[in-house]
């Protein structure tokens, strides 16, 4: 019997490219804000007034010349990549379900683990290292409460990440992403029931109404003015409804992509023109109070369309394609670390030295990338260690552990899934004693064979054993409290 | 064949990580005014605990004997006095049990990977067929081997089995491991006692009779003592020879005497066949023998170590073979430790003392290699900070240091006393001198094993066999004993 290989969603080069570009943009933005002390944020005072404010803000970089002025002017708008990430989150979450049915529990466990383990890795390793460096240089380190909250997040969950930002300015985004992921299964169900167009209309309506309330009734200022903790007034923009439309727009694009249509299949010229138009409109909107209704929808849409065209063109080079795909996987860890690197480099090393600031900018980018690679490497090891320890504690303390019950008897020739991966067949079976008898199976996928315990196997979805187990009323539950 | 140098980058990486980062960390703290004396004391305590356990184990193994005669005539009054004092102190040793029933039918199971062991397998089979004493009920010998290609030696084996019908040759198709080879013949075994051997093992003639006296008493597995046959080859084999004497003559014996439990070491193990047929071997584990030992103990069966049951084996003669053998052992031990530690704590079949001791063997030994290394970053950071290593005047640190170094020497001296083979005293002297460097080397290999385990690299690297003529070890026991239980001499 042919046991089909699972369908794997392929990573898209342009998507990874946008992610890398976005996190580097955020690093530059963050560095500029910290270095200058946040002298510029778009205000609802019109285009000309903002232009004058921008010129004043750029006086920090007088010695840099025209090129640095231009770059600095663009970097002031790096915050726009936050909403790009919201849109891409909706898109990639839908893509991750391509060819699968959504099982809410496992989906949320997997997604939360992907968000939280890198955060915990950075917190658990970063705090002691920064404390040691602070001790060595005689500088103040984080307060105990900040360390506790950061190390145990989301124990002290706050929707605005008020305490998290005391560790890193950009970490306010983590609670919002958790909220979006948490709401995704419900939105996905609605998308299936209503269709993506209807869901998008409703989500846009909710977002526009909510943002209208936030702007005109709650009198909230622009959402991305930093530092966050000093300006609680814009908290309404951090709630889920404020970003719902952008997120669902990404979901809709992802849904269309899975069906082989939508913006991802547009001609480059069409996508570029529309992207530029949307971005220009969004850019204009951010300088007017009424524009705040729409700017978070228009800006990311335009940026993603332009980015898609640009990175597709770059990906024609094989080298560039490999580089983008290789680096794209580190974008989340890069995002989490960049604030720590930027804050401490500027406060401890650069201070007010503009020349040194420009000199160290590329070093900060490369350094953050190296640390992100390290985090991605260490995080799974740490996860295995901690989960293993918790399982051991659970096992030892559990008063009535369920004895492992074999749900099915493996037989040579059975098609099986090994750790969720189909395409394996049992070629040999051994029965061993380990307090109770257990089955050990040699399985092969045609090019390699391995010995595994029966617990690591499941009958393939279409095998008689699988059907028998599914129909069994007393299907055993062998999971511990800490199973992933 | 893989070279150990292919692991050099792992060695460099892991040690850079485990030494470099803590050194910088401690250095930063020293710059901030921390003396780190509490960290130093904690690591010293860790060494102290390990040294104390070595002292206890060594003393127990040196002064208590697992198998001694019941009553001796004492013509020498001093000898009689010594025996009386030891009896009063409770270190005179157990009386070894006298067998009540004759030795039943026995089976020898030899696992081999023939391309690697084709040069030595015939010699091993001839040794077993001609030298090992047979029970009245009969003896059968199984050779379970795997080979990716047909070999001329297979014809020789077939001819030998025609001459000796008790020899059964089984080529295990599709097998890639010792565990699969052994599992394949377990259903064919007809003996009540099964001895498992590797292809290079030459057991003593009286092995089955010695093992039976314990099996008859209710034990399910008896592990004998392995000594090195090619000890004179080079410095490495000399060290391994003394190390094996320490492991099989001191550590395993102490474990057995202190906790009434032991491990099956992969060969020279004597099983009740019925137990072995239930336990079987797990081909998914790197050290299928330790895995089988844990499953045996956790299932309520008993294992005993008797150092008087001797077999000789070949030690790896090249550093390359040594590296991969020890890495597999370290990684396999880690694998077993991670799998079974919690089960040990929860087991209803083990006593509290056994649980504590097995926690030391599994959990403590797993973290030892990492924790022990941390003394170096502490010293390095002090060197960086002060430009020199000042002499400590802390009495506790001195106490721990002296005890740590003396434990190895004490263990080597005790090993000399119980050594079965009469090695040159030079072996023990050089082992005592080199034990620190040798331990560091094994520790480094264990760290690389940890790296491989964390990265899921668990490919079995076969230990290559050298075909040089080994040096015979003069046995303390007579070469041939009468084929009756009454003929058993005393053992160490």
CA-based nearest residue to B424, from B154, B241, B227? B241
Whether the CB-CB separation of B262 and B250 falls below 8 Å is answered with: no
Phi, psi values for residue B187, rounded to 5° = -75, -15
A84: Cβ–Cβ under 8 A, 6 or more apart, which residues? A18, A22, A299, A300, A303, A304, A307
Say whether B284 and A391 touch across the interface (CB within 8 A): no
Residue among B271, B268, B276, B233 nearest B248 (CA): B268
pLDDT of residue A45: 86
Which residues are within 8 A (CB) of B155 and not within 5 positions of it... i.e. 6 or more apart?
Answer: none
A389 touches chain B (CB under 8 A): no
> Contact A430/B34, CB-based, under 8 Å?
no
Interface list for B 431-460 with A (CB within 8 A): 454
In B15-157, beta strands by DSSP E: 106-113, 139-146
Residue of A nearest to B184 (CA): A430
Instruction: For residue A139, give the chain B residue with the closest CA.
Output: B32
Q: Do B299 and A136 touch (CB under 8 A)?
A: no
What domains does chain B contain, in order, with CATH numbers? 106-322 (3.90.550.10)
From A132's Cα to the closest Cα of chain B, the distance in A is 6
Residue with tokens 């105990």, as numbered in its chain: A144
- What is the predicted pLDDT for the residue at B92? 61
Residues from chain A contacting residue B25 (CB–CB below 8 Å): 128-129, 132
User: How many interface pairs between A and B have CB atoms less than 8 angstroms apart?
Assistant: 70
Kindly determine whether residue B28 and residue A451, on different chains, have CB atoms separated by under 8 Å. Answer: no
CA distances (Å), origin A298, targets A20, A83, A173: 21, 10, 20
- pLDDT of B72 reads 46
- Nearest of B312, B315, B123, B307 to residue B203 by alpha carbon: B312
For testing contact with chain B, the best of A126, A379, A432, A481 (most B CBs within 10 A): A432
B131–chain A nearest CA distance, Å: 33
**What integer pLDDT is reported at residue A3 of this predicted model?**
39
Q: Is A397 on the interface with B (CB under 8 A)?
A: no
pLDDT at res. B44: 94
| 8 A C-beta contact, residue B364 and residue B337 | no
Q: Is B341 on the interface with A (CB under 8 A)?
A: yes
The whole-number pLDDT of residue A228 equals: 41
Q: Distance (Å, rounded) from C-alpha B329 to C-alpha A124?
A: 32
Judge contact between A465 and A427, C-beta under 8 A.
no
Cα B297 to Cα B143: distance, rounded to the nearest angstrom: 27
Predicted local confidence at residue A5, as pLDDT: 39
| Closest to B18 in 3D by CA, of B389, B420, B377 | B377
| A212 to A205, A216, A240, A298: CA distances (angstroms) | 10, 6, 14, 16
pLDDT tens figures, B194-244: 999 999 999 999 999 999 999 998 999 999 999 999 999 999 999 999 999
pLDDT tens-place values along chain A, 484 residues long = 333 333 334 578 999 999 999 999 999 999 998 998 877 888 888 889 988 888 888 887 776 677 778 888 889 899 899 999 999 999 999 999 887 888 899 999 999 999 999 999 999 999 999 999 999 988 877 888 899 999 999 888 887 788 888 898 889 899 999 999 999 999 999 999 999 999 999 999 999 999 888 888 877 666 554 434 334 466 777 788 889 999 999 999 999 999 989 998 999 999 999 999 999 999 999 898 888 889 989 999 999 999 999 999 998 888 988 889 989 899 999 999 999 999 999 999 998 888 899 899 999 999 999 999 999 999 998 998 899 889 888 888 888 766 666 678 888 998 998 877 888 999 999 999 988 888 899 999 888 888 988 888 888 865 655 555 555 544 444 445 554 4
The minimal CB distance from B284 to the residues A133, A396, A440 is found for A440
CA distance A476 to B369: 40
* pLDDT, tens only, B268-321: 999 999 999 999 999 999 999 999 999 999 999 999 999 989 999 999 999 999
- Three-class SS of residue B193? strand
Asked if B78 and B72 count as a contact pair (C-beta separation under 8 A), the reply is: no
What percent of chain B shows pLDDT beyond 90? 66
Q: How deeply is A318 buried, as exposed, middle or buried, from its count of CB atoms within 10 A (0-12, 13-18, 19+)? A: exposed
- Name beta bridge partners: A425: A415, A444
A435 touches chain B (CB under 8 A): yes
Contact B283 A451 (CB under 8 A): yes
pLDDT for position A165: 87
Question: pLDDT below 50 — which residues of chain B?
Answer: 66-72, 468, 470-492
- Which has the closest alpha carbon to B267: B423, B112, B445? B112
- H and E: helices and strands count for chain B: 19, 8
Instruction: Tell me the CA distances in angstroms from A41 to A55, A76, A150, A324, B61, one per residue in order.
Output: 12, 7, 27, 31, 77
Q: Does B355 touch chain A (CB under 8 A)?
A: no
Which residues in B106-192 belong to E strands, given as ranges?
106-113, 139-146, 167-171
CA dist B356 and B364 (Å) reads 10
Residue B175 and residue B146 in contact, taking contact as beta carbons nearer than 8 Å: yes
Query: Over the stretch A322-365, which tens digit does the pLDDT of each residue have?
Result: 889 989 899 999 999 999 999 999 999 998 888 899 899 999 99
The answer to whether the Cβ–Cβ distance between A396 and B280 falls below 8 Å is no
The C-alpha R_g of chain B, in whole angstroms, comes to: 24
pLDDT for residue B410: 92
- Residue-range domain boundaries for chain A: 13-384, 415-469
Q: Does A395 touch chain B (CB under 8 A)?
A: yes
Measuring CA to CA, which residue among B442, B445, B424, B423 is closest to residue B434?
B442
ipTM of this complex = 0.78
Distance set, CA B262 to CA A285, B55, B287, B336 (Å)? 77, 19, 15, 15
Separation between Cα atoms, residue B284 and residue A430, nearest integer Å: 11
Distances (CA, A) of B191 to A221, A431, B269: 87, 21, 14
Residues 6+ apart with CB under 8 A from A103: none
CA distance B384 to chain A (A): 13
Q: Which residues pair with A432 in a beta bridge?
A: A438
- Cβ-proximal residues to A285 (8 Å cutoff; 6+ apart), any chain: A291, A292, A293, A294, A295, A298
Alpha helix locations (H) across B419-465? 425-454
- Residue in chain B closest to A454 (alpha carbons) equals B284
Cβ neighbors of A107 (< 8 A, separation 6 or more) are: A97, A184, A185
Residues 6+ apart with CB under 8 A from A43: A49, A50, A53, A222, A287
What does B68-91 look like in DSSP terms, one character per residue? Answer: B-S-----SHHHHHHHHHHHHHT-
Asked if A139 is an interface residue toward chain B (Cβ–Cβ < 8 A), one would say no
Please state the separation of Cα A318 from the chain's center in Å: 26
- List the one residue out of A206, A202, A212, A173 whose CA is nearest residue A89: A173
CB A161 within 8 A of CB A173: yes
Hey, what are A240's tokens?
């889920």
pLDDT at residue B66, as a whole number: 47
Interface contact flag, A442 B283, Cβ < 8 Å: yes
Determine whether the interchain pair B183/A430 forms a contact, defined as Cβ–Cβ distance below 8 Å: yes
Beta pairing, strands B303-313 & B202-203: antiparallel
The reported pTM is 0.80
Q: Do A391 and B34 touch (CB under 8 A)?
A: no
| A135 to B345: CB separation less than 8 angstroms, yes or no | no
| Partner residue facing A434 (CB), from B174, B298, B346 | B298
- Both tokens of A412, joined, read 């040579």
Strand order in the sheet with B221-228: B167-171, B139-146, B106-113, B193-198, B269-272, B221-228, B303-313, B202-203
Cβ(B406)–Cβ(B436) under 8 Å? no
Q: Which two tokens stand for residue A154?
A: 């989301």
Provide the pLDDT for residue B335.
92
pLDDT at A162: 80
């Amino acid at each position: 019997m042919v046991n089909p290989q699972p369908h794997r969603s392929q990573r898209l080069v342009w998507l990874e490219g946008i992610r890398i570009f976005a996190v580097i943009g955020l690093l530059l933005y963050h560095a500029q804000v910290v270095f200058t002390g946040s002298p510029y944020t778009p205000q609802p005072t019109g285009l000309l007034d903002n232009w004058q404010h921008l010129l004043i803000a750029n006086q920090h970089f007088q010695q840099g010349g025209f090129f640095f002025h231009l770059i600095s002017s663009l970097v002031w708008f790096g915050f726009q990549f936050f909403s790009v990430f919201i849109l891409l989150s909706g898109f990639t979450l839908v893509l991750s379900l391509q060819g699968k049915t959504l099982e809410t529990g496992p989906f949320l466990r997997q997604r939360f683990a992907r968000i939280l383990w890198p955060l915990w890795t950075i917190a658990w390793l970063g705090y002691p290292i920064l404390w040691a460096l602070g001790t060595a240089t005689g500088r103040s380190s984080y307060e105990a409460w900040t360390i506790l909250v950061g190390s145990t997040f989301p124990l002290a969950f706050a929707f605005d990440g008020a305490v998290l930002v005391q560790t890193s300015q950009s970490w306010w985004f983590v609670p919002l992403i958790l909220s979006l992921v948490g709401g995704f299964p419900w939105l996905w169900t609605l998308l299936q029931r209503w269709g993506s167009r209807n869901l998008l209309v409703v989500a846009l309506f909710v977002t526009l109404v909510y943002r209208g309330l936030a702007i005109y009734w709650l009198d909230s200022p622009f959402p991305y003015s930093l530092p966050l903790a000093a300006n609680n007034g814009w908290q309404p923009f951090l709630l889920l409804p404020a970003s719902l439309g952008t997120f669902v727009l990404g979901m809709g694009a992802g849904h269309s992509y899975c069906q082989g249509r939508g913006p991802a299949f547009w001609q480059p010229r069409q996508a570029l023109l529309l992207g530029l138009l949307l971005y220009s409109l969004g850019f204009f909107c951010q300088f007017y109070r009424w524009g705040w209704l729409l700017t978070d929808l228009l800006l990311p849409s335009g940026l993603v369309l332009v980015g898609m065209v640009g990175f597709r063109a770059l990906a024609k080079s094989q080298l560039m394609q490999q580089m983008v795909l290789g680096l794209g996987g580190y974008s989340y860890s890069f995002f989490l670390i960049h604030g720590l690197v930027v804050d401490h480099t500027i406060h401890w090393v650069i201070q007010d030295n503009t020349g040194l600031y420009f000199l160290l900018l590329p070093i900060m980018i490369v350094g953050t990338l190296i640390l992100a690679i390290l985090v991605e490497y260490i995080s799974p090891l740490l996860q295995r260690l901690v989960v293993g320890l918790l399982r051991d504690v659970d096992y030892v303390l559990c008063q009535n552990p369920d004895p492992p019950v074999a749900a099915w008897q493996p037989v040579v020739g059975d098609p099986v899934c090994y750790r969720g991966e189909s395409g394996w067949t049992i070629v040999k079976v051994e029965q061993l004693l380990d307090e109770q008898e257990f089955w050990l199976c040699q399985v092969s996928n045609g090019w390699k064979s391995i010995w595994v315990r029966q617990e690591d196997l499941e009958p393939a979805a279409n095998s008689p054993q699988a059907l028998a187990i599914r129909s069994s009323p007393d299907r055993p539950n062998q999971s511990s409290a800490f199973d992933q | 064949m893989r070279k150990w140098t292919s692991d050099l980058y792992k060695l460099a990486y892991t040690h850079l990580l485990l030494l470099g980062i803590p050194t910088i960390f401690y250095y930063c703290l020293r710059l901030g005014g921390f003396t780190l004396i509490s960290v130093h004391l904690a690591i010293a305590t860790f060494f102290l605990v390990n040294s104390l356990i070595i002292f206890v184990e060594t003393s127990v193994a040196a002064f208590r004997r697992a198998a001694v005669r019941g009553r001796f005539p004492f013509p020498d009054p001093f000898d009689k006095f010594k025996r009386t004092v030891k009896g009063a102190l409770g270190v005179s040793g157990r009386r070894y049990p006298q067998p009540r029933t004759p030795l039943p039918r026995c089976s020898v199971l030899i696992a081999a990977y023939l391309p690697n062991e084709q040069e030595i397998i015939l010699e091993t089979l001839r040794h077993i067929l001609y030298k090992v004493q047979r029970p009245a009920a009969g003896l059968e010998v199984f050779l379970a081997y795997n080979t990716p290609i047909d070999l001329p030696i297979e014809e020789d084996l077939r001819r030998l089995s025609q001459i000796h019908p008790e020899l059964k040759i089984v080529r295990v198709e599709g097998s890639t491991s010792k565990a699969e080879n052994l599992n394949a013949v377990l259903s064919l075994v007809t003996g009540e006692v099964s001895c498992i051997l590797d292809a290079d093992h030459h057991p003593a003639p009286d092995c089955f009779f010695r093992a039976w006296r314990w099996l008859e008493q209710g034990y399910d597995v008896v592990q004998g003592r392995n000594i090195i046959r090619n000890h004179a080859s080079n410095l490495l084999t000399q060290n391994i020879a003394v190390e094996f004497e320490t492991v099989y003559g001191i550590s395993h014996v102490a474990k057995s005497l202190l906790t009434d439990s032991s491990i099956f070491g992969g060969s020279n193990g004597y099983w009740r066949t019925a137990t072995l047929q239930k336990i079987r071997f797990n081909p998914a584990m790197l050290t299928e023998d330790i895995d089988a030992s844990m499953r045996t103990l956790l299932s309520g069966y008993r294992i005993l170590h008797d150092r008087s049951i001797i077999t000789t084996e070949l030690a790896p003669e090249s550093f390359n073979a040594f590296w991969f053998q020890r890495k597999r052992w370290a990684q396999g031990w880690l694998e077993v430790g991670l799998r079974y530690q919690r089960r040990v704590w929860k087991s209803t079949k083990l006593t509290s003392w056994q649980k504590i001791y097995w926690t030391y063997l599994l959990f403590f030994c797993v973290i030892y290699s990492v924790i022990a290394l941390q003394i170096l970053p502490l010293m390095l950071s002090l060197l960086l900070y002060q430009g020199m290593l000042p002499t400590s005047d802390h009495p506790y640190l001195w106490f721990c240091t002296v005890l740590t170094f003396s434990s190895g020497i004490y263990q080597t001296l005790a090993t000399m006393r119980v050594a079965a083979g009469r090695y040159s005293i030079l072996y023990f002297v050089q082992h005592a001198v080199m034990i620190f460097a040798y331990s560091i080397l094994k520790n480094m290999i264990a760290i690389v094993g940890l790296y491989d385990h964390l990265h899921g690299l668990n490919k079995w690297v076969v230990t290559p066999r050298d075909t040089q003529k080994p040096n015979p070890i003069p046995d303390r026991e007579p070469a041939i004993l009468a084929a009756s239980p009454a003929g058993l001499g005393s053992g160490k």
